[in-house]
Structure 1
Amino acid sequence: MEERLLIQKAQCGDAAAVEELLSRYEERIFKLAARFFSDPQDAGDVAQEAMIRIYERLASYGWRAAFSTWIYRITVNLCIDETRRRKKQAIQGLSENMESSHTGPEEKVVRDETSRQVRAAMASLSPDHRAVLVLREIEGLEYGEIGAILGLAAGTVKSRLNRARDAFRKQFVVLSGRGEGHAVC
């Protein structure tokens, strides 16, 4: 069924339409939440809360933005709120599974350490910087989409993204030991 019709039916209380609509976005919502939390259980909890919020607020969806943007906004806002509430500094899933059957133990150790450093650098960012970096670099969204999700102007997204990249870069250099006094090979 076309998404627009499905949304309209869901807004009118059609339970089957609501179930179908939520099932279409369930995996994407979980994957987005997993970018914010190192524990899959935490990501699942936030994703579940996002599904509940989407259901509760479905009638208020006003077609001003794409439905997917509206869902992303709800999910990202919940992730940021939960991150702030718990003051957790972790993120899951930044690096894809880089395992390969052709790599030796030394390469695996280096990749694992690099992955740990990337996660730690991301975890050190503020929730606002982490959100914009995840949405752009991991999810691949355009500035306008990110702005719609976070309620920011495109120019603000660009400047926040630049600050987030700088903060990430500085933290990664510190964690990787490639700062002053170390040769970069």
Structure 2
Amino acid sequence: MNKPQPLSQRYDPRQLTDEELVERAHDELFHVTRAYEELMRRYQRTLFNVCARYLGNDRDADDVCQEVMLKVLYGLKNFEGKSKFKTWLYSITYNECITQYRKERRKRRLLDALSLDPIEEASEEKAPKVEEKGGLDRWLVHVNPIDREILVLRFVAELEFQEIADIMHMGLSATKMRYKRALDRLREKFSGVSET
């Protein structure tokens, strides 16, 4: 006869809240990954969209997503729940995007210094993607990286202003002000363009 599974392993991860899954992951990792896998399944698409919009291409976004998922896997045991899981996840994502962005910027500077044409190398991934996607992407290329991240976290990740402020280590009023100014600048820039 089959031995009954322990109660701790008898659950449907899809029925649990993020907080319950985090609690399960604390107990289960690294032997059982069901709770972790469900958390990643819930946020995978939005996580990729946040990275792609911030970094401007799918290849870098995919690399950053993989790095974020590894950091979450190894960090869940130490996650104390002082913030929501979603906020913690996007904080990791934001930091990884910044790291990748800086890496790409250094690479472009090196290519410039070597007199290679970085635009030609990057155009394969960057130029068509922005044009094809339209919508939010065509607006995001016109704002600086910090404002872009605020807009992405607000519109793509659908985070509250306080969560965005926590992730970006900014005050709540500064976050709201940057958000409003970025939107005002975009409205001014595209006042003649009809919204899609």
Global fold match (TM > 0.5): yes
* Structure 2 Cα separation of the partners of residues 139 and 91 of structure 1: 24
* Residue of 4, 10, 15 corresponding to 2:32: 15
By how many angstroms is 1:70 displaced? 0.8
Q: Using the alignment, how far apart are the partners of 1:134 and 1:22 within structure 2?
A: 19
Q: Is the 8 A contact 2:49 2:156 kept in 1?
A: no
> In structure 1, what is the Cα distance between the partners aligned to 2:96 and 2:145?
11
- Which has more radius of gyration? 2
Whole-Å separation in 2 of the counterparts to 1:66 and 1:38: 27
TM-score, normalising length: structure 2: 0.64
- Structure 1: stretches of 5+ with no match in the other structure: 98-114, 179-185
Give 1:95 deviation, angstroms. 9.0
Given that residues 91 and 122 in structure 1 are in contact (C-alpha distance below 8 angstroms), is that contact kept between their aligned partners in structure 2?
Answer: no
**Distance between the aligned counterparts of 1:82 and 1:48, measured in 2?**
12
* Shift in CA distance, 78/171, structure 1 to aligned 2, threshold 3 Å: farther
Write the distance in 1 (CA, Å) between the matches of 2:127 and 2:90: 17
Deviation at 1:132, TM superposition (A): 0.7
* TM superposition score normalised by structure 1: 0.68
Letter paired with 2:71: R
Matched, 1:165 2:183: yes
Alignment of 1:66-77 (within 5 A): 66-77=84-95
How high is the sequence identity, in percent, across the aligned residues? 31
CA distance in 2 between counterparts of 1:122 and 1:48 reads: 23
- Which consecutive residues of structure 2, in runs of 5 or more, have no partner in the other structure? 1-12, 109-121
Q: Does the 8 Å CA contact 1:37/1:43 hold for their aligned counterparts?
A: yes
Helix, strand or coil for the counterpart of 2:68? helix
> Alpha-carbon deviation of 1:49?
0.9
The answer to whether 1:126 aligns with 2:141 is no
Question: Cα deviations across residues 36-88 of structure 1 (Å, max 9, x unaligned)?
Answer: 13321211111111111111211221111111111111112211221232138
Which amino acid in structure 2 is aligned with residue 52 of structure 1? L
